[in-house]
Amino acid sequence: MKVLVLNGPNLGRLDIRDSSMYGDLTYPQLVDFLRSAAEKHGFEADVRQSNDEAEIIGWLHEAADSKLPVIINPAAFTHYSYAIRDAAELVKSPLIEVHLSNPLAREEFRHTSVISGIANGTIAGFGPHSYELALIALKTLIG
């Protein structure tokens, strides 16, 4: 089963982001981790990253049209992008929000997610394992 794994702005530069928040993996290493975790749980992961809101919206439309399940880390868009929220709502297959860090334990502006309300669930704070836990949740939801 194919799963679209979408990553938002600045996640492509984990190499220079705060490793105490986001861990030690570079983005290419995270992608390798995701692909092998997906395989372990019976999925084929199509992993994408963009700094561009419009591109992410286009990928969500693709997931809606192709009825693909989605794991999404919207990064900073989490906290304010109603456009990504509305596009994510069009996805009728399971959609899980993930974060490497735990936004609720950070600055106040990160405490709001405009995505959580339309996601099947949110997994945050476990580094790359947030994505693996999302794959396990997805497997349970798909049955």
CB-wise, 8 or 69, nearer to ligand DQA? Answer: 8
The one catalytic residue among 27, 82, 99, 129: 99
DSSP assignment of 18-86, as one string?
-HHHH-S--HHHHHHHHHHHHHHTT-EEEEEE-S-HHHHHHHHHHHHHHT--EEEE-GGGGGT-HHHHH
CB-wise, 93 or 130, nearer to ligand DQA? Answer: 130
110: contact with ligand DQA by CB under 6 A? yes
118: contact with ligand DQA by CB under 6 A? no
22 is catalytic: yes
Q: Which residues pair with 96 in a beta bridge?
A: 71, 121
Give the residue numbers annotated as catalytic, written as ranges: 22, 99
Which residues lie near ligand DQA (CB under 6 A)?
Answer: 10, 73, 75-76, 78, 99-101, 103, 110
